[in-house]
Every structure is written in structure tokens, then in C-alpha cells.
Amino acid sequence: MGITRAHIVKNDSLEDRLGDYVGGKPRRASLGAASKHSSRLVAALTCLQLAFAIYATFLLYYMSPAVDLRAKPDFAWATRIAQRWKQTIMSDGGGDPLLSPLQVCEHESIEFEQKKSTDALMIRLKRELYDDVLAFQRRSFAAETLPELLRMRSRWPSSPPSDEAGRPRVTVILNHFKRRTLCAQLDTLRRQTLPFHRAWVLAFGSPNEASLRRIVESYNDSRVSFVASGYDFKYYGRFQMALQAESDFVYVLDDDMIPGTRMLEILCHVAGTDKYRNAVLGSIGRILPFRAKDFTFPSYRKFRSTPFTFMTGEDLHLSYQLQKYMGAGSFVLPVDPKDKETWGDSEHRLAYVSETTVIFKDIVTVRDEQWWRALTSGYVTQWAAMNPQKVDALFYAHSLGEVRALAPLLEKFRTTAGRKAYLVVSGGGHCPCEEAAAVLKWPKVVCKERRFKVFDLALGALSGPSHSEVPVLQAVYSSMRGLVRMHNPSVIVAVADVDGKVKDALRMAAEAAVNQTALVLLPRKTIPKVLWMATLRPASLPNWNKMRISVNIITQTRAGSLGRLLSSLKNAYYLGDEVPISFNMDSKVDAATLNAVNAFAWPHGGKTLRRRIIQGGLIRAVSESWYPASDDDYGLLLEDDIEVSPYYYLWVKYALLAYRYDPTVSLPELSSISLYTPRLVEVTKERPRWNATAFFGATKHGANTPYLHQLPCSWGAVFFPKHWREFYAYMAARFTEDAKTNPVQIPRSRTNGWQASWKKFLIDMMYLRGYVSLYPNFPNQTSFSTNHMEPGAHISAKDNKLKHDKGDFEVPLVADDFAPLLPAGKMPPASKLPVLNLFNQPVSIKGLKAAGAKLRQDVLSCVATQLVSVDHVTGLPKNCTAF
């Protein structure tokens, strides 16, 4: 590899001198003088050769693709030393006279007219496509015309100052192989309205190296350098050289580009604006293809304006890498069609002269594959920006084991009508696409076909021998960020034990989403249990992580019962969510219970212990066990004689996402979610048995439909924050020690005589305001909680004359996936849920409200057509509102 400066000397002249002196052929008359002179000169030339060898070695090393050039080396010292040595040598004797550009310049012969299409239909389609693109750009980021750009405030104004200190420094890189255009390029560069700082002419593996070298030398311009190598660095050599530039900007020109004389001025002005300072600017662009009607993507060559120069692979790669790792855009500058000096390519026909990269089928195939791989690994093309997609879920797998774990849920999404999900694999050695397809029993062709189904990020080539985690994190984040921007997934799904760096990258990509995207990290063993996720409306999925459900236990002297409850809680599926737990104990708590709660280890969140100093009783113990911290804070209240199903949390989460976090659902009357299905109508004196499955089996709703009931559940229920605040305020206004003085008397309800019951006050409030609870409904009253009816404040109490049969209260627990038992295998729409009043009679929500309003016994005196409206932050009543 050789590097010279054009103003020094021709290389063949220097080689002649070396041959003369080393070969012993003196050129002067005086032998003695020549001998003395030659000794000094040979020594000097030897040093010069050594300097150039060191310089070339360093340059070759730093141009190696294996070298990280983010820390830019400084070659200035070597250049200065080489210049001084060579100038010293040449001062002792003259060399061959420099040839002028007129003597050495070559020019391309263009003997054809520019091709123009005569296909009216194609011209119309392309014109419409261009107009659509331009209109979109104007709407999205206000694409300016050339005069508008030049009027924008810039660090580098379009009329550059005469002094060099106030002008931007531009290094121009001219990449040459076969075309005879170097002279035309140098001539137009020397006429630029903004003078360039440096120009590097590159000839890597070029058959025309000698003639290119002579041309550079003939211009005798200290700003122009020639860099050559017998090794062909392909098109990446120019970018590697660009990393060595110490200027403000680098302008890279192919050998078929002859820019107008104002090009550098315009480029620098635009690059100096706040809007475009973090961008790559060019003069020719390409619109990559739109999706076909069959949802496939054809070749990029089939959807483009007739190009004057082709968008080569390195240009696409450069734009993709800048967007991926820097968030930098690629922009084509507008021109003045009447002024060629504003064009970046003043002679379009050169693209068709001495073509070297676009006429061979294998090269086209490689480039075609390159843009598709970029598109499927996060490159936001113009088509993607103009046509944002909507997908329900992106599944990310970093290994084949993760593909295998995610397979059931991915398949459920893909087989559910109206749902769309894609797989993203890390690729390379981590998770090869073809092997991932084999795990899923998909044909291997899915990794090659032009349709969205599986995205291969090809991370295997990133970390290299260093095994650094940083490139993997950066690549996963930047690729996933692009895919999220293009496809707008409701959720990104991955296994909870995915690599920590990958998890961080996925989290950042989800947080960077323009639209709301949730990162769902599922423990592997729970994935087959959460297939109902695919049945949720896409609008509710982004709220997956929004709710916070806490477990609040009321306990005192039943350590054995408490142990059973804690064991069932610990064995439940929590989907990787953080679930805090609290223990609420009255002052008379026994030592066994204290020891049990202190020794209990809770792996799913924080643990809090609360103990009263003065005995408060069951009403205070329950009602004060939890208070919401936000509108997304939900409280599960459990007495210690309750036991829960392993699936209880899944039921609660499913119900919340379906009826509380779906923005298309309006059900403000829903105040809680019950885990338990009752077998009795407990508010009537007779307390008859009641079977929900048999009751609804005779209706259009179906035997196993969940239902809304006006009765709250005290044997395992999750309460909603707004309604619980409301209940606090209501109870503070209505609490009396004597139940007979309570002003609320519900007709025919045995709850009117209940004493020491927090549930009585909640029933009153729900009756007066038309609130409901959601209940499960499975065969044999199989539930997510059961009550073991052990002696306590109510059961077997001295003042409770009511006899309790365990068979009326103990129910079997759900032990398997419950979703297949639901109507059509999913939660019914909110509007299809049947509604029961306090006495298990079918009624509408409006009918419930009418009954409560008719009673006219709420804390505010309202007419029979109004209900009390409350402040949901404080829970305090505000006014009466018609329903």
C-alpha cells in the first residue's frame, strides 16, 4: 500500500534515483563528489523508506476491520515527518518535471442519450408514489425546499466567510476503480464555492492505479492525497478512511458522481442546522418497496424510481447503521432543477458507463438480500414510516431453549382469530433461525421468505473474540427499537430468566416505543398456564404490568390454618409479577402465629407485619388491613382459614385486564373480583342452596359464564382502589356499635341485623349505589378460594346462633387451566355478563341502581332518580347525580 502527497514528487522519479545510486551508476562527472554525496543520500533514503514502511504498516493495521476505530488515531505526525524527509532529499537535485492535468487527464466518452421511460402507466405510478412520500414527509417532519433550507439558521451559513477559520473543514473521499472521472471530480471540487479542506483519492485493487496516481500528482495541490493498495477493500475502505479524518465533515463520492459547484456549501449549511445536524446527507435516494397484496415483499429493484445511480449496498448499510446505533436519519437534499450547480450528480449517464456493481445477477441478489435483512432487523425504511404496522406481540428468544419455552403461547397467538404475533430470534450462534423454525415445526423457508413471521437479528457476528456483552446489548436494543417502531406491538414477550443484558435491552426498547408497549417477562413454567393472554383485546395488553396486587392477611390465633393458607399462596403462579404481602394481627395474637409470620419467606415481593396495641376487633382488623396507594393498587383480603388455588392470581389478572384495563370497556360499577363461588343465598332468612352452573346453564349465557353479583365476597376477593376509598368514607359516616341504629334497612335482607360485620356496611353501600362483584362459575362451584369454616369471630361464636354446615361453604379448588371452561374459551364481553341482585335474581345494572335510589337512605339525600356521586381520590360524597 502506498500513500503520497501530490505536491512532493512522482514515485517513478524517486525510484529512478534509488536505482541509480544503489546500482552504482553515477549521474555526475565527479566520482569523489558523487561518492560522498551518494553516501549521505543513501542513508537519507534508507531512513525515508523506513519511515514510509512504518507509516504504511500503521495505516494497514488501522484499516483492518478487526480494529475498533471509535478512538481515532492521529497520523499527522507521520505525514509531517515524511514531508520533511522528502523535501530535504529533493532540495539536493531536481526531478523529472511534473506533468500537467491536460497531459494526463482521461475522460469518459458518453455517446448515448439518457434513457427515458415511455410507459405512461409506470410513470403515473411512480409519480403518485413520489407525491405520497413527499406529502408524508411534509406532514411528519416538514420537508423543506432548497430555498427554505438555505433560509434556516445554521452554524455554517450558505455564504461562507472568506477567512479559513470561520469555514467548516470538509474532507472529500473519492473512491475510484475503473471510471475515468477523477479529473472532472477534482476540477469541480477546486471550483466549489466552499473550498474543501482535504481530498483523499482512494484506489483499492484498481487496475488504473498508475494513471490515477499520475493525475493526482499532476494537480500539484497540497490538499489532495493519493491512497492506493493492491488489496481490494471493497466499498468499506472508504468508510474506514473516513474514520481517520479530523475535519468537521466527510463527503464521500463514488467515481460516477460529479457534484455541482455549490454542493459543499449546501451540504455544510444544512448539516449545521439544529434539525439535520445528526444526519447523513446525500443527493440521490431510493424508496424501498411497499408490501404486496399477498403480504410478501418483492425485490427492491421492482419498486423504485428509475435511478440515475444505484443505491449500492454500502450506502444502505451506512444509513441502517447510523439509524440503528445513533438514531440518525438519512436525507436526500432537494435541488434547484434549473441550476445544475446545486445538484449532487450533474451527469447522470455516468452511472451506466463502466458499470461494475449493478449489472451482475449475483451482486443484485446480495444487495436484495441485504435490504431485506436490514428491514427485518429493525431498519425503519420509508415504507415502514409511512405504513406503521400493528402487531399484538413480538416474542423474543435468545436461545433455542427460550424458543421451546415460548412456543405454546406463540402458537396460541398465531392460531387465535384476529391476533398477530411474530418471533424475533437473536440468530448467529445464539439462536439460529433455521433451528428455531425446526423447534416450532415451521418450514425452514420462513427464514428466507419475504413476509413478516420471524425476524433474525444475526447477533452471532457481533461480540467476536472479545465475548463482550456490550455489543449484544446494543444490537438487541437498537434492532428491537426499530422493530417496535415499525410494528407497534402491544407486548414484547420473553422468558423471565433471559440474559440480564438482553433483558435490559428489551426493557429500553419497550420504553422507547412511540405507542405503549409492555415488556412481559414470564417464568418458563407459567407460560403454558397463561394461554388466555392471546384472547385479550390488544388494547388491554400494554397495561399488563400496570396493576399492583397485594396480599393482605388477617390473622390472630390460628397458626395451623395460617400455615395452610401461606403454603397455598406460595405455590400459586404469579407470572413474574411483584406481589407484596402483609400480615395484620390484633393485640391478642398468640406466639405461634407470631413465630409463623416471622419465619415465613415470601419470594414474590416485600413482606410487612402490622400488630395492634389495643384490640380492635374483626371490623377494624379487616377494613384497616389495606388502603390503596394509587388507582392501580388492588388489595386481596384473606382471613387465615381460607385456602387459595394455584390459579387464583391468573384469574384476577385475567379479569382485571379484560374488564378494568381494556379502554373499550366501561364498567365503573365493578368494585371487586371474587375468588369464591357461593353455594347459598346468604342474605335471606332461609338461606337456600343455589347452583350458578345450573342456573345459567338454562340461559343464553352458558353454564360456566362468570357473572356480576351485588353481593361482595368475604372469603377471598380483590377490591378496587376507588371503591375501597369510597367504602372507607361511607363506613366512617355510618359505623355504629348497635346495628339496629343503622339507618340503612334493605327490604327482606337478613343483613339488617348483622353486628360486628364489616361486610354489612359494604353490602349497604353496594346496594345503595348499584355496585357489583365479578364471580367465577365452574362445575361443582369449583373456585379459586375456599373457606374451611374454622372457629373464629363469627363461626362458632357464642352470640351466633346460626348453624353452619361445612358442605355449604367448602368448595373444590381449581387445579388446572380454567380458560377452556369459559364460554368460547375466554372471558365474555362485559356487555354479555349476566347480572344478579342481592337475592340472586337476574336484573340489569340500571335495575340495581334504581332499587338503591328508591331506598333513599344514602349519606346524601337524593331523589329516587339519583345516586350519590363521590370524589374518587378521597372517597367522600360530592353530590347527587342522575343515573
pLDDT value for 58: 62
Beta bridge partners of 251: 172
Residues 30 and 38 sit within 8 Å (Cβ to Cβ): no
pLDDT value for 62: 52
| Three cell numbers written together for 490 | 402491544
| Three cell numbers written together for 222 | 497540497
How many angstroms separate the CA atoms of 407 and 393, rounded?
13
Assigned CATH for 388-530: 3.40.50.2000
Residues 184 and 107 sit within 8 Å (Cβ to Cβ): yes
Beta bridge partners of 227: 3, 202
User: Percent of the chain at pLDDT above 90?
Assistant: 57
Query: HEC profile for 434-503?
Result: HHHHHHCCCCHHHHCCCCCCEEECCHHHCCHHHCCCHHHHHHHHHHHHHHHHHHCCCEEEEECCCCHHHH
H or E segment to which residue 671 belongs: strand 670-674
Task: Give me the count of residues in the chain.
Answer: 883
How many angstroms separate the CA atoms of 853 and 864, rounded?
5
Tell the residue number behind the cell numbers 477534482, with chain if given. Answer: 186
How many angstroms separate the CA atoms of 538 and 546, rounded?
15
Please provide the DSSP assignment of 204-270 as one string. ES-TTHHHHHHHHHHH--TTEEEEEESS--TTHHHHHHHTT--SSEEEEE-TT----TTHHHHHHHH
How many angstroms separate the CA atoms of 425 and 437, rounded?
10
How many angstroms separate the CA atoms of 768 and 858, rounded?
6
Residues 866 and 853 sit within 8 Å (Cβ to Cβ): yes
Same CATH topology for 120-382 and 548-882?
yes
Task: Tell me which residue of 401, 403, 438, 435 sits closest to 422, measured CA to CA.
Answer: 403
Beta bridge partners of 253: 174
Task: State how far the alpha carbon of 880 is from the alpha carbons of 44, 683, 725, 734, 865, in Å.
Answer: 103, 28, 18, 18, 9
pLDDT value for 521: 98
Task: Tell me which residue of 733, 728, 727, 762 sits closest to 859, measured CA to CA.
Answer: 733
Cα within 13 Å of Cα(462), Cβ side: 18
Residues 522 and 493 sit within 8 Å (Cβ to Cβ): yes
pLDDT value for 17: 34
Rounded (10°) CA dihedral 176, 181, 187, 193: -70
Q: What are the 10-residue block averages of pLDDT along the chain, 883 residues in total?
A: 33 36 38 55 76 66 47 50 48 61 83 70 80 82 87 86 82 91 94 94 93 93 93 79 89 89 93 89 65 41 28 66 77 88 78 52 65 79 82 96 97 95 91 94 89 85 51 87 94 96 95 94 97 96 97 95 97 97 95 97 96 90 94 97 97 98 96 96 90 94 96 96 96 80 88 85 96 97 93 54 75 96 96 96 96 94 94 95 93
How many angstroms separate the CA atoms of 250 and 247, rounded?
7
How many angstroms separate the CA atoms of 618 and 624, rounded?
10
pLDDT value for 319: 77
What DSSP state is assigned to residue 29? S
Tell which CATH classification among 2.60.40.150, 3.40.50.970, 3.90.550.10, 3.40.720.10 matches the domain 548-882: 3.90.550.10
Instruction: Give the CATH architecture of domain 120-382.
Output: Alpha-Beta Complex (3.90)
Task: Tell me which residue of 6, 346, 352 sits closest to 188, measured CA to CA.
Answer: 346
Tell the residue number behind the cell numbers 502506498, with chain if given. Answer: 2
How many angstroms separate the CA atoms of 61 and 567, rounded?
64
Residues 188 and 258 sit within 8 Å (Cβ to Cβ): yes
Count CB atoms within 10 A of the CB of residue 102.
8
Count CB atoms within 10 A of the CB of residue 204.
23
Phi-psi group of 283: left, alpha or beta (phi > 0 → left; psi -120 to 50 → alpha; rest → beta): alpha
Count CB atoms within 10 A of the CB of residue 451.
13
How many angstroms separate the CA atoms of 796 and 803, rounded?
8
Beta pairing, strands 224-229 & 2-5: antiparallel
Beta pairing, strands 249-253 & 170-175: parallel
- Could you report the per-residue pLDDT of 544-598, keeping only the tens digit for each? 999 999 999 999 999 999 999 999 999 999 999 999 999 999 999 999 999 999 9
Domain locations along the chain: 2-97, 120-382, 388-530, 548-882
- Could you report the per-residue pLDDT of 398-457, keeping only the tens digit for each? 999 999 999 999 999 999 999 999 999 998 888 999 999 999 999 999 988 878 899 998
Tell the residue number behind the cell numbers 434513457, with chain if given. Answer: 115
pLDDT value for 468: 57
